[in-house]
Amino acid sequence: MKTTTSLAVALGATTAFASTLAPRATLPKVTIRGNAFWAGSERFYIKGVDYQPGGASDAADPLADTTVCKRDIAEFKKLGVNTVRIYTIDNSQNHDECMKALADAGIYLALDVNTPKYSIRRDKPAQSYNSAYLQNVFATVDEFQKYDNLLLFFSGNELINNIPTSNTAPYIKAVTRDIKQYIRERNYRKIPVGYSAADIDDNRLETAHYLNCGGDMERGDFFGFNDYSWCDPSTFKESSWEQKVKDLGNYSIPIFLSEYGCIEPDRKFGEVSTLYSSKMSPVYSGGLVYEYTVEGDSDQQKYGLVKLNSKASVSERPDFAEFGKALKAAQTPSGDGGYKTNLPPSECPGRSTTFLVTGDGVPIIPPKAKAFFEDGAGPGVGLKGAGSQEVGSESPGTTTESSSSSGTDSDGSASTEEGAASGLRAPALSVASVVCGFAIIVSSLLGGAIIL
């Protein structure tokens, strides 16, 4: 629903390096095995809430303000969530303290890489897919890959929201591919990358299968969709959830609800017990309730679990207690929850009257953006940049081949609006690493300590 240098000065390099080594709590890195998430040897179910104080109209980064994030983390602990989704962040800011506070509370982050000014436009996908856009996306990856409690990246959100906009699907796949390849080429851990889809009856299944077909690098690592079809009082069958589980029963990657929580007529969260039951666990891995704060117009305000009073306090609405109670009462299945492994990727759907994609061609990454794989993206522009949506198309064409023969491991063990804002290897020795290593030695001689 959300739409969203030089190393000549050793001291400067040392300061930047120290920031990356800021002490932070450690949670087990979540990986993918089969069609499920895993935290170590334990099946991981997303029990979360969508979190963007200020909403789309006043985009701000809640993890760049420690007063705000610590105010809200106290509320998250009351709810008992293990994941928050954030739609917009400022990649020019430092996030160490808030990410550590989340980790201390046992909470992971599901992060959208797009911002209102840096995202793919539904009406101009080719024009808005360019190196300026990808530079900012990659800078976000650079900023957050270092945190063990980063759960995943969303490459897009509800870009397809009707039949005509289904023609943007190749761009969703291209951004997903580009992020995955950037992660690999920069020697980062395998962080899952996937898409958050609108629940459009006309082409929900086609979208899901399209984003899970083709080469390894082009396929998403997971599929999230925003589903408001269970409206209390309802049942597994009446809500259409039973049919959706059947439709995606052999889907080879994890599925979860990236938004849920119907507000009509009363919000009792009756769906929570079913979402985490054995009826759904063989296919689904939980979900995120929409949304934490009261935002937007009168209709959207009904979704908020809390109302903001100030930077230091919130007022809990009745829905807060209802959701917390439902989440605490939900019992996930024991063991692996009936997950499936060794399922084949999807077959690419053909063009139809409801899915306007012809063939399996995917836009080629702009040449300027490809250079970031080797050189790095550089600093993020944050929320004050000029934007990328009008820069113009830079892709030289389309390709039907995967950008790489390798992608997410099948067992996941090493893996992992219009703007609708996508193997651990030893890193090469660089000038930066030499300078930083020297800085550590100097720091030790001076009695300083760096804690890893």
> Which letter, b or e, does each residue of 50-88 get, where b requires 16 or more Cβ atoms within 10 Å of its Cβ?
bbbbebbeebebbbbbeebbebbbebbeebebbbbbbbb
Of 87, 10, 18, the closest CA to residue 296 belongs to: 87
Place of tokens 């899915």: 355
Kindly name the residue from 75, 158, 322, 417 that is annotated as catalytic: 158
> Which letter, b or e, does each residue of 13-40 get, where b requires 16 or more Cβ atoms within 10 Å of its Cβ?
bbeebeeeeeebeebebbbbbbbbbbbe
Give yes or no for a contact between 291 and 267, defined as CB atoms under 8 angstroms apart: no
Peptide bond preceding 265 in cis form (omega within 30 of 0): yes
- Going by their DSSP bridges, the two strands 314-316 and 306-308 should be labelled as antiparallel
Amino acid (one-letter) located at 377: A
271 is catalytic: no
d(CA 398, CA 401): 9
User: How is 71-125 classified by DSSP, letter by letter?
Assistant: HHHHHHHHHT-SEEEES---TTS--HHHHHHHHHTT-EEEEE---SSSS-BSS-H
In the three-class reduction of DSSP (H, G, I as helix; E, B as strand; rest coil), residue 207 is classed as helix
- CB count within 10 Å of CB 423 equals 10
> Which residues on neighbouring strands pair with residue 301, listed in sequence order?
none
Query: Which helix (H) or strand (E) segment is 260 a member of?
Result: strand 255-260
> Which letter, b or e, does each residue of 189-199 get, where b requires 16 or more Cβ atoms within 10 Å of its Cβ?
bbbbbbbbbbb
Kindly name the residue from 75, 143, 206, 259 that is annotated as catalytic: 259
158 is catalytic: yes
In the three-class reduction of DSSP (H, G, I as helix; E, B as strand; rest coil), residue 380 is classed as coil
Of 219, 320, 272, the closest CA to residue 46 belongs to: 272
The catalytic residue positions are 158, 259
